[in-house]
Structure 1
Amino acid sequence: MYTDKLLLVFMFSALNAQFSQTKYNFETKYIEVPLDHFASIEEPNVFNLRYLINAEYYNGTGPIFIYTGGKGDIFVQAQNTGFMFDIAPIFNALLVFVEHRYYGQSLPFGNDSFSSLKQLKYLSTTQALADFASVSKYLKDIFSEIDDLQPTVVAFGASYSGMLAAWLRMKYPYLVTGTIASSAPMFDFPGLIECDMFYEKITQVYDKNGGEECVEMIKRGWDVITALSKTKIGRGVFSELKICSKIENSKDVEKLLNWLQNIYVNMALANYNYPTNLYTPLPAYPVKVFCNKLTSYYEISNKSFIQHYSRALELYTNYTGNNLCNNINYINEDLTEIAWNYQKCTELIRPRCSTENDMFVTKPWDYEKYAQNCNLRFGVKDIRPEWTILAYGGKNLKYFSNIVFSYGDMDPWSSATVLDNVSDSIFSINIPDATNQLDLRKFDLADNNYVAETRKFHIRTITQWLENDD
């Protein structure tokens, strides 16, 4: 019955595109979940996990579309996943966005959730997946009582959330019929990819959007910063970058370099063909706009370069004009980054190195230093680089089913995602000229035909899953 409605999504989406600033509405709910789903004895400790629900299109017979929340506030993630809203009327679907524990408002110990390893130890992918499974079962049971028909669950996710959505299907196939996983870096672990692949892909994005001159200017920026950092007078020039605190020593310089590197990464991830507010407010094609600014005329001296460089960076750091200064200090990092850095120290060990083949400062992958930093920051003595591969199978995906992995060829996460079909029920979809998780965003008139075809594929595949689940 869904097949007959296939073309309606594009009529609905075209109408929705006229209201690009529309915010999606939800009812906010909470569910009690165990602090530890796997305790050997009964644990009385529970906490409230937040989820958002929209029943506007649900008629009692449709499926549940569940988004497995990743890094950050679930409300922000929901507002950036318009595809689920675009297709909900076709399937009469109930939309649910479940927050990841330790992010947003789902803090097991409130403001003390990050105070020590004792509180943080319950932050893991396995615990989060058990949360998602608990919510899925709860909703299936509730709506089966109301409508006398247990609804089918289809999972969605993007980036880290996409990994979780895929793992949810793999670990709990009796609860989740299928998964759409966009830009999911499933293989971003030691031994599965080369450590230089991510930064090489970022460089390709800048080369395609700004050309070789932009890449060379970025490389020159590192050289200028290094040269200026060697003297007190030189470090004083960094005030041109409108940093909130002074750059006084080598540790401050390292923070500055990491801050700039993260800006380049985020711009590549958010290099959409229309204005967005995923990480910060940005115009359409921010990498191209940034490169145009960076490669425009400037005077040759190091100070003049930094002034020119700062003006170009404001595309990211101060696009709205409301930012007074730029904070680069980890001391003031928000709770999201603390949680994420903890996860990167316990199970999401992602090998990163930069070489002469990319636009970043050359830096080898140093496992020992990485482990030392994790021990220093969180007291984590064993970072277990092999754990996630053991838990979820690494590249051994042929034993699973009903997952679509989609990615853009200009998506930085394509360096670690599933690039080929694995079986007749695990698909890989390449979207030319597309960046990170574009297919799960709302329909936009600026989208190319490749994105439209990918969304059609998602609709057909979900239709098949639901029909086979009847």
Structure 2
Amino acid sequence: MQYGLSFLGNKFKICGPLHSPQELKGYLESIYTAAAQYNAPPEYPVSMICSAIDGEPTGTDILGRIFAGVNSYKKSYPCYHINDYSYQSESSLGWTWQTCSEMVMPIGRSINTMFQPSHFNLDRFIQQCERTYGVTPRPHWVTTYYGGHDIKLILRRFASNIIFSNGLKDPYSSGGVLEDISESVLAVSTVNGSHCLDIHLPAQSDPSWLVEQRNKEVEIIDGWITKYYADLLVLKK
């Protein structure tokens, strides 16, 4: 076991000793997850990683190809801090709190993918939330409160002034609202967009379709605000 860990640590240029296979597994999973979710221009990380894996010389072993993909994503360093993915920022702490207190997401992997199976364990998730935050998750709260079993009907009857924006390269978009529900509950999506890309700060390198998406969203919100003040004036007369 120790020789195997040492071999993997050297192969992947890990800073410091590798203590368990799970450390490396978690590190690689974090890279693939982030690349898929934030598969944004101009780099498009998924294509970058795959190209690096496929671009290795003939005879390169599987681990060597995997490292080439990691290296293309993380950029070239003398060594890599394998636990960087577990850094807890204010955003990640807030997000994990929200998944415990409001949005239980039973995400796992079956045997039908290129990755090792990983089944969602609700009991373990509950224990982790109680241990970390002292809160017991409510798995069915979101669908009960927001009517998730017929979300279109609920949104049509009770919602207004919502933009559901999605980049279709983001795997989460498959669970998103991708069509307009009413005159004020609107879907705005882009084929090449990724997770939250439209609410990132603008950059000179932004493609035209991203600029158009942002402009459309601003135009919609501006229309809501204009209508609000127009209605307010009518009420005051």
Distance 1:410 1:335, change over 3 A: closer
DSSP 3-state at the match of 1:349: coil
Q: Which residue of 1 aligns with 2:5?
A: 235
Structure 1 unpaired stretches of 5+: 1-230, 275-283
Q: Structure 1 residue 397 and structure 2 residue 174: aligned?
A: no
2-structure distance, mates of 1:326, 1:254: 14
Q: Which residue of 1 aligns with 2:178?
A: 419
Q: Structure 1 residue 434 and structure 2 residue 193: aligned?
A: yes
2-structure distance, mates of 1:379, 1:425: 37
1:447 equivalent among 207, 226, 231: 207
1:247 equivalent among 12, 15, 18: 18
DSSP 3-state at the match of 1:267: helix
Q: Which residue of 1 aligns with 2:73?
A: 316
Structure holding more helix per residue: 2
Identity of aligned residues (%): 24
Deviation at 1:339, TM superposition (A): 4.6
Q: Which residue of 2 aligns with 1:259?
A: 27
Q: Which residue of 2 aligns with 1:344?
A: 99
Q: Which has the higher contact order (CA 8 A, sep 6+)?
A: 1
2:136 equivalent among 382, 391, 409: 382
What's the CA shift string for 1:27-70, capped at 9, x where partnerless?
Answer: xxxxxxxxxxxxxxxxxxxxxxxxxxxxxxxxxxxxxxxxxxxx
Distance 1:448 1:386, change over 3 A: same
TM-score, with structure 1 as normaliser: 0.42
Aligned-partner residue type, residue 363 of structure 1 = S
2-structure distance, mates of 1:327, 1:452: 36
Aligned-partner residue type, residue 106 of structure 2 = P
RMSD of aligned Cα (Å): 2.9
Aligned-partner residue type, residue 371 of structure 1 = I
Q: How many positions carry a matched residue from both structures?
A: 221
Deviation at 1:300, TM superposition (A): 5.2
Q: Which residue of 1 aligns with 2:235?
A: none
Aligned-partner residue type, residue 23 of structure 2 = K
Deviation at 1:425, TM superposition (A): 1.0
Q: Which residue of 2 aligns with 1:288?
A: 47
Q: Which residue of 2 aligns with 1:468?
A: 227
Aligned-partner residue type, residue 222 of structure 2 = T
DSSP 3-state at the match of 2:163: strand
Are 2:38 and 2:195, in contact at CA under 8 Å, matched by a contact in 1?
yes
2-structure distance, mates of 1:467, 1:294: 52
Q: Which residue of 1 aligns with 2:62?
A: 305
Structure 2 unpaired stretches of 5+: 230-237
Are 2:166 and 2:196, in contact at CA under 8 Å, matched by a contact in 1?
yes
Are 1:407 and 1:436, in contact at CA under 8 Å, matched by a contact in 2?
yes
